[in-house]
Amino acid sequence: MPMRDQDEFFLPDWRQPRELLRLMLFGLLLALALVLAAAHHAVDLTWAELERQSLFISACLIWSAGLLQLSRPWLSRRPQPLVTMLAWLLVLVVVATFSLFVSTFIAPGADLFWWLRNEAIAAILGGILLHYMSLAHSLRRRQQAALGARLQALQSRIRPHFLFNSMNLIAELVHSDPDKAEAAIENLSHLFRAALRETVDVPIGEELELCQNYIDIEKLRLGERLQVRWQIEHVPAEIGIPLLTLQPLLENAIYHGVEHRSEVSELRISVQHDGERVSIVVVNPLACTPTAQQPLRGHQMALGNIRERLQARYGETAKLTTSADRDVFISYLSYPYKLARHA
């Protein structure tokens, strides 16, 4: 499994002074809360008890944070749910170890209830704290993805090379075939009108129509070299899809696949749904040239932009994966079934 960027890891970096200060403040507040909860009268509130609770809790927190920090390189390569469970268990082990140490060497009179109480408090608060860290991390990632996707979507919804090629094509057709030139202008206007819209979702039928507008323009330029096969299996037209999600996939497939080939190339698009999720598969041939790896890198750059938009809209429930072999490049998109909802 590829290693995640440790800066994006959901557990704090305990080497940072700010994080350590937060940890110590949490320990102090927890100690104060426990002392207050155990006191029945004002005379029960003593600095000595607060000091004992603070030292015990601080020791548990520092050791837990230290062990998690040492394990950070290994944990950062594991799935987040597994990391959460391991971190929770580590906290329980640390608290149990310190409880055993205290009951054996410092306060031999401590009974089993005291040990069980410590474990119960650690289990509850540790679980809550780790869950909060996970949710806060997910929220930060979504906010960053939404901002980045917004900027990237405005800058790269339609590639400049497509605009230049289309304008050159229209300029040639104006004299040789005015009817085709007019049709190309209409298709191009539909695409740019969509690019300027502030819409969250559109019906998938509308997105497919925009894709057809795009393909019609590219067919005028590539001729018989571009063949398209659609496979749409009982997909209701009102299913929602983020605007200009499929069209960039097709543009990516043509730009990095079909355009680099001199022979006839087939682009295959499959759209399906099972009542819960929508699945879209785009298959395009790879360029049969010694520099075929360059288109592959271009594929990943463009797909990264689409993936960020999906993450901003659906979070982790949307998937965009790719695979490639010597002949074809496959893009697989899956997201939750929803009816179209306009902004």
Q: Which domains does the chain have, with CATH numbers?
A: 6-154 (no CATH), 157-336 (3.30.565.10)
Token pair, residue 155, equals: 């800058």
Instruction: Say yes or no to pLDDT of 296 above 70.
Output: no
The span from the CA of 217 to the CA of 94, in Å, is 65
pLDDT in tens, 192-208: 888 777 666 789 999 99
Please give the pLDDT value at position 300.
62
Mean pLDDT of 206-227: 91
Compute the average pLDDT of residues 292-312: 64
pLDDT band per the 50, 70, 90 thresholds, residue 2: very low
Question: Is 236:203 a contact under the CB 8 Å cutoff?
Answer: no
Longest dimension (CA), the chain: 100
DSSP states along 243-267: TTSHHHHHHHHHHHTGGG-SS-EEE
With bands split at pLDDT 50, 70 and 90, how would you rate the model's confidence at 115? confident
According to the model, what pLDDT value does residue 340 have?
Answer: 60
The pLDDT of residue 44 is above 60: yes
% of residues, the chain, pLDDT over 90 = 32
Mean pLDDT of all residues in the chain? 83
Buried b / exposed e over 246-258, threshold 16 CB at 10 Å, is bbbbbbbbbbbbb
Which tokens belong to 238?
């009102």
- Eight-state DSSP code of residue 105: I
Average pLDDT over residues 39-53: 81
pLDDT in tens, 74-113: 998 898 889 999 999 999 999 999 998 888 888 777 778 8
Q: What is the pLDDT of residue 155?
A: 45
Q: Which pLDDT score, from 0 to 100, does residue 25 have?
A: 94
Predicted pLDDT of residue 339: 66
Mean pLDDT of 271-275: 87
When pLDDT is averaged across residues 159-174 and rounded to a whole number, the result is 81
In whole angstroms, what is the distance from residue 173 CA to residue 181 CA?
5
Model confidence at 152, pLDDT cuts 50, 70, 90, reads low
Place of tokens 């937060």: 22
pLDDT at 5: 43
pLDDT score, position 138: 82
